[in-house]
Amino acid sequence: MKTYVVIGMGRFGTAVATRLYELGNEVLIIDRRTDCIQHIADRVTHAVTGDATDEDVLRALGVGNYDCAIVSIGSDLAASILVTLNLKDLGVPAVICKASDEGYKRALERVGADRVVIPEREMGVKLAQNLTSSSILDFIELSPDYGIAELSVPADWVGKSLRELNIRAKYGVTVLAFRKEDRLNVQPGPEEPVGPGTVAIVLGSNEQLSRLQAS
């Protein structure tokens, strides 16, 4: 079980906090607004009304002992920056921030955020990837240029090994794993044949992934 602190109980923060708790993690939520805290208090481990821009508040809650913090203030850049600085000063190993645009993203990265997400953009990219190819089952954007895609393997891959397919040389992508039903084969061997109904999890640039989808 990992420990998370989620700051800001808007739609994004609420969704993240409740899902992390459903997955069996310890989750502390913090927001200035009592009504937002009360709304989901029974769906997380700890719920606190407080000002996360005040380092003393965060220290009293022991957030430095948590594995990861998610800053979901989003529309208030100054507050997001101050909270991020507080969390880093208190020694939180990983700080993930929500941003509303690229300018906010760059600012938060400069003050030490380990990862900054723009949910609307990432969801838009994922939807576009899914719509443009029926083979794409899921897509995770790692950066504006790179991502990880899950795709149903083409029929001409079935029965062939990774060595025979020579996927990296042909398309420039890296096969991270194969999945079939509930079985995940991480780092499959070069001689292992691809079975029917297999899903490939591949890493590459958006251009490389598009070329693979079109093959």
- Both tokens assigned to 111: 């003050």
Q: What is the mean pLDDT of residues 1-9?
A: 93
Q: Which pLDDT tens digit goes with each residue over 80-98? A: 999 999 999 999 999 999 9
Instruction: Output the pLDDT for position 134.
Output: 45
Q: How confident is the model at residue 215 (pLDDT cuts 50, 70, 90)?
A: low
**Cα 188–chain centre separation:** 24
Edge-to-edge order in the sheet of strand 94-99: 46-49, 26-31, 3-7, 68-74, 94-99, 115-117
Which single residue is written with the structure tokens 């020579």? Answer: 166
Q: Which pLDDT tens digit goes with each residue over 50-81? A: 999 999 999 999 999 999 999 998 678 899 99
Q: What is the DSSP letter of 172?
A: -
Q: Which pLDDT tens digit goes with each residue over 119-166? A: 766 655 555 555 455 444 566 767 767 778 888 888 888 999 888 988
- The DSSP element (H or E) to which 90 belongs, if any, is none
